[in-house]
Chain A
Amino acid sequence: MQVALFITCLSDVFYPSVGMSVVRVLRRLGVEVDFPTEQTCCGQPAFNSGYRQDAAKAAKQMIRAFEGYDAVITPSGSCAAMVRKEYPHLLNDDSEWKERAQSLADRCYEFSEFLVSRLSLEMIDARLEGKATYHHSCHMYRGLRLTEPPLQVLSQVQGLEVVNLPYHEDCCGFGGTFAVKMSEISQEMADEKIQHLESTEADYLIGSDMSCLMHLGGRIRRKEKSVEIMHVAQVLDRGMMK
């Protein structure tokens, strides 16, 4: 199986360690990973702001970059949702591109989803002591309906107690450019999320979208609170190191 990593621009630039964790975890599970360097950004910032032509440029670049791979794995529910749900619509006007977009959409997996649907969870041998709670990102939760896979993956980690985050279906307030354009509202949403987070007394806040975690983490840091923020892949990477 030829597997490509779709790193996402955010992790490429701000959180390279998440990508490294994905690569290491997949390799430990026997998956051969490649990283096509032609990839850039999925185009979501432009698309969600209404700039569909500029988003289409990004989409075409990504479709070209990932042609020929059997599976494309990304550590982001949101970017996976962009590729899977929006690309075919975005390139609707051009039948050739639409087909290529659909092909990528069909091959694109979110990280936990790939582990659950294409590998065997029993293969995961990881241990991390502590109490954690999981933040469902909206595009993964409602967009792709991937509610269980990350929790199934985390349930394989010995020593890790995962407790429910109250109001877990509610948005954290990131929302792409919303976080900047509507920063006052975004901040209120983050603060409510952090209140719920604190009520769990978790040591770790785990998620599948670094964008939400950059927003929440940035707010948590500003408020000088201590909770460690991790991507599911980072939890496995750390837990598998023995």
Chain B
Amino acid sequence: MSIEQQISRKQRPPFHDRTKEAIEHPFLQKAVRYTQDRLRGGKKRAEAEIGNWEEWRLKAEAIRRHTVEHLDVYLDQFTTNVENAGGTVHFADTSQEVLDLVTQIVRKKEARSIVKSKSMVSEEVDLNHVMEQQGVEVVESDLGEYIVQLADEAPSHIIVPAIHKNRQEITRLFSKEAGKLLSEETAELTAFARKRMREKFLQADIGITGCNFGVAESGSVVLVTNEGNARMSTTLPDTHIVVMGMERIAPRWRDLDVLLTMLTRSATGQKITSYVTALTGPRREGEADGPKEMHVIVVDNGRSSMLGTGYQDVLHCIRCGACINVCPVYRQIGGHAYGGVYPGPIGAVLTPLLEGFEGWTELPYASSLCGACTDACPVRIPLHERLLDLRADEVETKQTPWSERLAFKGFGVLAEHPEWFEKAAVMGHWMGKPLADQEGFLQKGPGPLKGWTDSRDLPIPAKTSFRKWWRKEGKQDG
């Protein structure tokens, strides 16, 4: 973790404050719900249209499982083939190493400006800010990323970075950047962004992209976009840097076929995105365009710690965002409240795994365990089960408060003693009664019940429990 990240982490308000802020935001929920509905609706239609969706999921899961199980072999093959095609491969264990590698290339090229195509891994290492501190201009070329960059924010969704922004806000941001008042018309706003982008593409010394898939058998980097910005970022600047997560490998082109089929349908409901770009090495002799140099930085940054553990399947993720689009928690709070780079269910699982529990103990609990994420995942990662595993890990490593540990100890004892269990319920009734209204509901609960009664009435335990009724009447009636 870079020093800047450490500082920003300390400044990050606690989870509950972030949540509150999101809920109180005047239009965040409306914007998020609208786009979530559009995306999940699109996915449903795409599933029906292709047919046999469950079979496709099984196929995709098998490919991801096989790939991650043999990641060393495929990374080796990928590296060899990138280098055979004239590219250079670097391996970065930590985010600092990623930053060092990029900095080295920037200095060697005496680069002054960078254009970027969408990359979540670059968010992990906070690349933009670090480059800007070194006096290098960085411009995001994905429209959504550009919007959040102008707002000096982080993406709040992995494929729809500006999901939380509405038209008025975007108009304000663009007008400020343009130095004149723009209208709220889509055509005028996109025309501005397009013109601005063209200038930046032509100026840039380096293009930085992520990598949706690296095809091992050919050493190709595959980029999936709807705006063509990845093509511009990789053909105009002299140097192309790819920042890829180490697990982002597809062994063969035929595997890529299945994975792309699942990625675009799961992400936006599209059969295919407007642009799918495969780049194999830099410009070759006699070719008219493409970068003179291509560097591929393969990033670990905590990923390898999942290998060989019960969390290995989290590495199967293809970053489609389908889990985010169906998540009822994300629906209420958007992405920033999660606080990490990756929001939603995948973020709640991934962030503590990549960075450890410190600062992230709430995330595994930021889920109602409804399982919608697990059903939505195109590669069948049981996300809600991994959240449960993380909770168990928190308990095991004593991250949870002592009062809670004590309470569940007590629960375990009561659960083994039906007669004590019954007495506790009776006690609950008599303790609750003086605090309850005439119909037996608490409006303001004491102690730990406050969390419930802040928003809901709570019935007190019934005077006659079921088991009491059973002994007195129920049993005989039969």
Residues of A within 8 A of B (CB): 7, 9, 11-16, 19-20, 23, 27, 32-33, 35, 37-41, 43, 45-55, 57-58, 60-61, 138-139, 142-143, 169-171, 173-190, 192, 214-215, 217-219, 221-222
A37 touches B470 (CB 8 A): yes
A182 and B19 in contact, given A37-B467, A175-B368 (Cβ under 8 angstroms) = yes
A186 touches B370 (CB 8 A): no
In the bound complex, how far is the Cα of B440 from the Cα of A8, in angstroms?
A: 21
Distance between A7 CB and nearest chain B CB, rounded to angstroms: 5
A171 touches B370 (CB 8 A): yes
A171 touches B416 (CB 8 A): no
Write out the residue numbers on chain B whose beta carbons fall within 8 Å of the beta carbon of A14. Answer: 459, 461-462
> What is the number of contacts between chain A and chain B, taking CB atoms within 8 Å?
212
A-B contact pairs, 10 of them (CB 8 A): A50-B364, A50-B390, A54-B412, A54-B415, A57-B412, A170-B372, A184-B19, A185-B23, A188-B23, A217-B457
A13 and B455 in contact, given A41-B415, A46-B411, A178-B369 (Cβ under 8 angstroms) = no
B474 touches A35 (CB 8 A): yes
B369 touches A186 (CB 8 A): no
Instruction: Say whether B366 faces chain A, with CB atoms less than 8 Å apart.
Output: yes
In the bound complex, how far is the Cα of B466 from the Cα of A35, in angstroms?
A: 10
Interface centre among B391, B414, B421, B455 (most CB of A within 10 A): B455
A49 and B466 in contact, given A13-B425, A54-B409, A58-B416 (Cβ under 8 angstroms) = no
- The 8 lowest CB-CB distance pairs between A and B, nearest first, are A175-B368, A218-B456, A50-B391, A54-B412, A171-B370, A180-B451, A58-B415, A187-B455
Q: Which listed residue (B394, B413, B468) contacts A50, Cβ 8 A? A: B394
A-contact 0/1 string along B67-108, CB 8 Å cutoff: 000000000000000000000000000000000000000000
In the bound complex, how far is the Cα of B471 from the Cα of A23, in angstroms?
A: 13
Write out the residue numbers on chain B whose beta carbons fall within 8 Å of the beta carbon of A32. Answer: 478
A171 touches B395 (CB 8 A): no
Q: Which listed residue (B328, B365, B388, B462) contacts A173, Cβ 8 A? A: B328
Instruction: Say whether B16 faces chain A, with CB atoms less than 8 Å apart.
Output: yes
Write out the residue numbers on chain A whose beta carbons fall within 8 Å of the beta carbon of B417. Answer: 40
A54 touches B408 (CB 8 A): yes
B459 touches A49 (CB 8 A): no
Instruction: Say whether B183 faces chain A, with CB atoms less than 8 Å apart.
Output: no
Distance between B338 CB and nearest chain A CB, rounded to angstroms: 11
Chain A residue nearest in CB terms to B400: A50
In the bound complex, how far is the Cα of B392 from the Cα of A55, in angstroms?
A: 11
Interface centre among A7, A180, A185 (most CB of B within 10 A): A185
Write out the residue numbers on chain B whose beta carbons fall within 8 Å of the beta carbon of A15. Answer: 462
Q: Which listed residue (A19, A40, A50, A190) contacts B395, Cβ 8 A? A: A50
Distance between B92 CB and nearest chain A CB, rounded to angstroms: 33
In the bound complex, how far is the Cα of B457 from the Cα of A54, in angstroms?
A: 28
Write out the residue numbers on chain B whose beta carbons fall within 8 Å of the beta carbon of A61. Answer: 415-416, 418
Write out the residue numbers on chain A whose beta carbons fall within 8 Å of the beta carbon of B390. Answer: 50
Write out the residue numbers on chain A whose beta carbons fall within 8 Å of the beta carbon of B413. Answer: 57
Chain A residue nearest in CB terms to B412: A54
Write out the residue numbers on chain B whose beta carbons fall within 8 Å of the beta carbon of A49. Answer: 391, 395, 400, 404, 408
- Chain B interface mostly: helix
Instruction: Say whether B332 faces chain A, with CB atoms less than 8 Å apart.
Output: yes
In the bound complex, how far is the Cα of B455 from the Cα of A184, in angstroms?
A: 8
Instruction: Say whether B333 faces chain A, with CB atoms less than 8 Å apart.
Output: yes
Write out the residue numbers on chain B whose beta carbons fall within 8 Å of the beta carbon of A175. Answer: 367-370
A221 touches B368 (CB 8 A): no
Distance between B382 CB and nearest chain A CB, rounded to angstroms: 11
A16 touches B332 (CB 8 A): no
Write out the residue numbers on chain A whose beta carbons fall within 8 Å of the beta carbon of B365. Answer: 177-178, 181-182
Distance between B188 CB and nearest chain A CB, rounded to angstroms: 34
Instruction: Say whether B393 faces chain A, with CB atoms less than 8 Å apart.
Output: yes
In the bound complex, how far is the Cα of B155 from the Cα of A190, in angstroms?
A: 27
B368 touches A178 (CB 8 A): yes
In the bound complex, how far is the Cα of B175 from the Cα of A217, in angstroms?
A: 47
Write out the residue numbers on chain A whose beta carbons fall within 8 Å of the beta carbon of B459. Answer: 14, 214, 218
Write out the residue numbers on chain B whose beta carbons fall within 8 Å of the beta carbon of A12. Answer: 425, 465-467
Q: Which listed residue (A46, A183, A185, A192) contacts B412, Cβ 8 A? A: A46
Interface centre among A11, A180, A217 (most CB of B within 10 A): A180
Q: Which listed residue (B16, B388, B449) contacts A184, Cβ 8 A? A: B16
B408 touches A219 (CB 8 A): no
B415 touches A57 (CB 8 A): yes
A180-B451, A183-B455 given; 9 more Cβ-contact pairs under 8 Å: A13-B428, A16-B462, A23-B477, A40-B414, A51-B408, A58-B411, A181-B365, A187-B456, A188-B29
Chain A residue nearest in CB terms to B448: A180
In the bound complex, how far is the Cα of B448 from the Cα of A43, in angstroms?
A: 19
Instruction: Say whether B371 faces chain A, with CB atoms less than 8 Å apart.
Output: yes
Instruction: Say whether B20 faces chain A, with CB atoms less than 8 Å apart.
Output: yes
Chain B residue nearest in CB terms to A170: B328
Write out the residue numbers on chain A whose beta carbons fall within 8 Å of the beta carbon of B375. Answer: 142
Instruction: Say whether B469 faces chain A, with CB atoms less than 8 Å apart.
Output: yes
Instruction: Say whether B199 faces chain A, with CB atoms less than 8 Å apart.
Output: no
Write out the residue numbers on chain B whose beta carbons fall within 8 Å of the beta carbon of A217. Answer: 457
B448 touches A142 (CB 8 A): no
Q: Which listed residue (A41, A174, A186, A221) contacts B421, Cβ 8 A? A: A41
Write out the residue numbers on chain B whose beta carbons fall within 8 Å of the beta carbon of A171. Answer: 328, 368, 370, 372
Write out the residue numbers on chain A whose beta carbons fall within 8 Å of the beta carbon of B151. Answer: none
Write out the residue numbers on chain B whose beta carbons fall within 8 Å of the beta carbon of A186. Answer: 368, 455
Interface centre among A23, A51, A179, A217 (most CB of B within 10 A): A51
B395 touches A51 (CB 8 A): yes
Q: Which listed residue (A20, A55, A219) contacts B469, Cβ 8 A? A: A20
Distance between A169 CB and nearest chain B CB, rounded to angstroms: 7
Write out the residue numbers on chain A whose beta carbons fall within 8 Å of the beta carbon of B394. Answer: 50
A185 touches B425 (CB 8 A): no
In the bound complex, how far is the Cα of B388 from the Cα of A32, in angstroms?
A: 38
Distance between A101 CB and nearest chain B CB, rounded to angstroms: 15
In the bound complex, how far is the Cα of B239 from the Cα of A161, in angstroms?
A: 66
A185 touches B395 (CB 8 A): no
Instruction: Say whether B329 faces chain A, with CB atoms less than 8 Å apart.
Output: yes
Write out the residue numbers on chain B whose beta carbons fall within 8 Å of the beta carbon of A23. Answer: 474, 477-478
Write out the residue numbers on chain B whose beta carbons fall within 8 Å of the beta carbon of A184. Answer: 16, 19-20, 23, 455
In the bound complex, how far is the Cα of B478 from the Cα of A32, in angstroms?
A: 7
